[in-house]
Structure 1
Amino acid sequence: MKIKILLLLALTFSMSSNLLFAQKGKQLFPQTPGMVSYTYRSSFSKDVALTLDTLKALGIKDMEFSNLFKRTAADIKKLLDERDMHCSSFGVSYDDALNKTQEVGQNAKTLGAKFVRVAWVPHKGAFTLAKADSTIADFNTIGKRLKDEFGLTFCYHNHGYEFEKHEDGTLLDYIIKKTDPAYVSFELDVLWAFFPGGDPAGLLEKYPKRFKLMHMKDLRKGVEGNLSGGTPVTNDVALGTGQLDIPAILKAAKKSAIEHYYIEDESPSYATQVPQTMAYLKGLKQ
């Protein structure tokens, strides 16, 4: 009887160990990421079709266009359709989003996008509470128009300068809390959350429903951040080779409302770094 019990316990332990091993062996990021057109801006400016062919060969299907590269939205949509690719997000300037909302909305719809994104608030010097207040008012206006007239979701992409301290948090916290969640969502740029001293994973955990899009990028080791919102493009490195804890960020993202993950690599070495980033993501285990 004791032998049977021991055998049963051994079998149970073995099964549990195998299950644990299998779980650890699961891919953390099994899907193919999307791509921000800004990564390939140099290539796109020369030949949009050929650049899309390059991205398709990498397995990329999901695009965020931040520029139409002297084409019409209809032209780009046709090129995407011919390659079984799609555009999920359309990035525009703050001024265009505010003052050319109709044109922006029409272009986004033509592209097939569901999101419109702004990545920079024009300002001089430090980002202030007064600027945050005017930004909040503008974002609520832009977001309502895009939602009501086009069924689009407006997102703001953080850029580092919004991490100025305010009360018990930052001005980014203030913007998130004061914008209407029915009309304003966010795109988390993980580098531009880390660079000013923030915690990308912590932001996702703090606001699990507000972030809908993500820019995945990494910061060169040894580089010290600040609140400027800028750093040389050569400080963008392949994921997993820099300072950010990418696995922790992705684990937090999986529990959040993130719908699209885009690679953004501003470095001139994007042609070699993007494949390296994709291999790194594919190799991540839980």
Structure 2
Amino acid sequence: MLKPAHSLFLIPALCATLTSVSAQSGKPLYTFPLGVESYTYRNQFPNGVAATLDKIKALGFTEMEGGAPKGLTPEEFKKMTDQRGIKITATGAGYDQLTKDPESIVKNAKALGAEYVMCAWIPHEKSKFTIDDAKKAVEVFNKAGKYLKDNDITFCYHNHGYEFGPYENGTLFDYIVQHTDPRYVSFEMDILWATHGGANPVKLLEKYGSRWKLMHLKDLKKGIKGDLSGGTPPENDVVLGDGQIDMPAVLKAAKKAGIKHYYIEDESNQEDVQVPLSIAYLKKVKG
């Protein structure tokens, strides 16, 4: 029989074990098609588009966010992805393109078959993202978002970390969400960049609910303290579940918010090692 003093030492270990078991019990948390952000294979596409797409198919991906690699038209790239059962559900557009030529964005998205267009960067001085930058972005997003919506495409702004600087009673990101028209402007959650910028992905998902339409699945290395730079070395992008992000909580909140398209984006230089492990994590995580 354990003495009372001994049992007290065992209680924390027992609780930790029960928590671990609980995390792997219950229903699967990830129940959506596997999606990949094409930037993950930025170093491989230039060496062979067909071979890279074959690899993506073999991993089980059926959705992609991205555009045609250099040397291919959107129509040619779509034909190649169609042949492999991969649907391009979202593609990207630059901020200047949104400002000056939204028509070309619509043309590209429709050629790819994409229903969503995301912008991942707002130009600003390297030292600081300001309220003036945010106000200008709101104007650009509302105008371009309406044009895209009129052409049956949903525009999403992809957070990058620098937007989480303080402003009034919240952040500059709050300002952008609250001053863009929900009819024309939605959002793509990048959980690594949100975390790196000091935000809590779960709280953001709960706060803005259905404004979120897409998600980049990635994880930030444990022990890394972020900042508002919007940048971090590639080695800080780790396998899903190995980093500091509470992935089960994120997946639960994302499902509750109604997000249906998720893209693994691995910005490390070890994508061939890390992506299969991230897929395995998504398949086994339960809650």
Write the distance in 2 (CA, Å) between the matches of 1:151 and 1:43: 32
Question: 1:1-286 to 2 correspondence within 5 Å?
Answer: 24-66=25-67, 68-124=69-125, 125-148=127-150, 150-286=151-287
Unaligned runs of 5+ in 1: 1-20
Write the distance in 1 (CA, Å) between the matches of 2:177 and 2:69: 29
* SS in structure 1 of the partner of residue 249 of structure 2: helix
Tell which structure's C-alpha radius of gyration is larger: 1
Root mean square deviation, CA, Å:
1.4
CA-CA distance at 1:233 after TM superposition: 1.3
Do 2:35 and 2:65's aligned partners in 1 also have CA atoms closer than 8 Å?
A: yes
Write the distance in 2 (CA, Å) between the matches of 1:70 and 1:136: 34
CA-CA distance at 1:243 after TM superposition: 0.7
Do 1:210 and 1:257's aligned partners in 2 also have CA atoms closer than 8 Å?
A: no
Write the distance in 2 (CA, Å) between the matches of 1:147 and 1:177: 19
CA-CA distance at 1:68 after TM superposition: 3.3
* SS in structure 2 of the partner of residue 209 of structure 1: helix
Do 2:221 and 2:244's aligned partners in 1 also have CA atoms closer than 8 Å?
A: yes
CA-CA distance at 1:70 after TM superposition: 2.8
What is the letter of the counterpart of residue 130 of structure 2?
T
Write the distance in 1 (CA, Å) between the matches of 2:196 and 2:68: 25
* SS in structure 2 of the partner of residue 183 of structure 1: coil
Unaligned runs of 5+ in 2: 1-21
CA-CA distance at 1:103 after TM superposition: 1.1
How many residue pairs are counted as aligned between the two chains?
264
CA separation of 1:107/1:208 partners in 2, compared to 1, >3 Å: closer, same or farther? Answer: same
Relative to the length of structure 1, the TM-score reads: 0.90
Write the distance in 2 (CA, Å) between the matches of 1:33 and 1:242: 20
What is the letter of the counterpart of residue 215 of structure 1?
H
Write the distance in 2 (CA, Å) between the matches of 1:80 and 1:47: 14
CA-CA distance at 1:147 after TM superposition: 1.1
Do 1:117 and 1:155's aligned partners in 2 also have CA atoms closer than 8 Å?
A: yes
Write the distance in 1 (CA, Å) between the matches of 2:32 and 2:133: 38
Identity of aligned residues (%): 52
What is the letter of the counterpart of residue 135 of structure 1?
A
Show structure 1 runs of 4+ deviating over 6 A. Answer: none
